Amino acid sequence: MLIAATLAIFVAMILAIIRGIAGPTLYDRILAVNMFGTKTVLLISLLGFVMGRPEFLDIAIVYALINFISVIGVLRYSDTNQFKHTPNDNESIKKDV
């Protein structure tokens, strides 16, 4: 049953990769990478149980954190409209070079 769950998560990861390659916008791809990351966390936890080594859970915690930080980093640095507004003037969008 654990092995069935591992295969299921593996299938979900493949689906995420397909969307990651074929997504029309950038944000589809970021979403696919994020989903891939959370599935990797689950895969590591399951594999740790299947192979009988509970030290893998440390790696799972690290992955969850790194996934979060990477998605936030990607979003911060691929923003095309950077500073949305300043309180002084009325224009709302400044385009970045």
Partner 1 sequence: MEIVITISSGFFILLGSFLCISGGIGLLRFPDFYTRMHAVGVTDTLGAGMILVGLMILSTDFLVFAKLVMVLLLTLLVGPTTSHVLAKAAFHNGVIPKDSSSLSQAKKKENNSSII
Partner 2 sequence: MLAGIYGLLSASFFVAMDAVDVAFTEAAVGAGISTLLMLVVISMTGRKEKPTRHKPLPAFFVVIITGGLLIYGTLDMPHFGSEDAPIHNHTSPRYINDSMQEIGIPNIVTSVLASYRAFDTFGEVVVIFTAGIGVLTLLSVGRAKENDEEIESINDSMHQQHLVVRIVAKMLIPFIFLFALYVQFHGDFGPGGGFQAGVIFASAIILYAMLFGLVTARKVINQTFIQFIAALGVLLYGSVGIASLMNGGNFLDYNVLSSNPITGQHLGILIIEWGVGCTVASVMVVIFFNFAGRRERKQHKNKSQNKESST
> Which spans of this chain sit near partner 1 (rule: CB under 8 A)?
1-2, 4-5, 8-9, 11-13, 15-16, 18-19, 25, 27-28, 30-32, 34-35, 38-39, 41-42, 45-46, 49, 54, 57-58, 60-61, 64-65, 67-68, 71-72, 75, 79-81, 84-85, 87, 90, 92
41, burial (CB in 10 Å: exposed 0-12, middle 13-18, buried 19+): buried
Cβ(64)–Cβ(38) under 8 Å?
Answer: yes
Query: DSSP code of 13?
Result: H
* Residue 97 touching partner 2 (CB under 8 A): yes
Contacts to partner 2 from residues 2-61, by CB under 8 A: 17, 20-21, 26, 29-30, 32-33, 36-37, 40, 43-44, 47, 51, 53, 55-56, 58-59, 61
Residues contacting 80, CB < 8 A, separation 6+: 95, 96
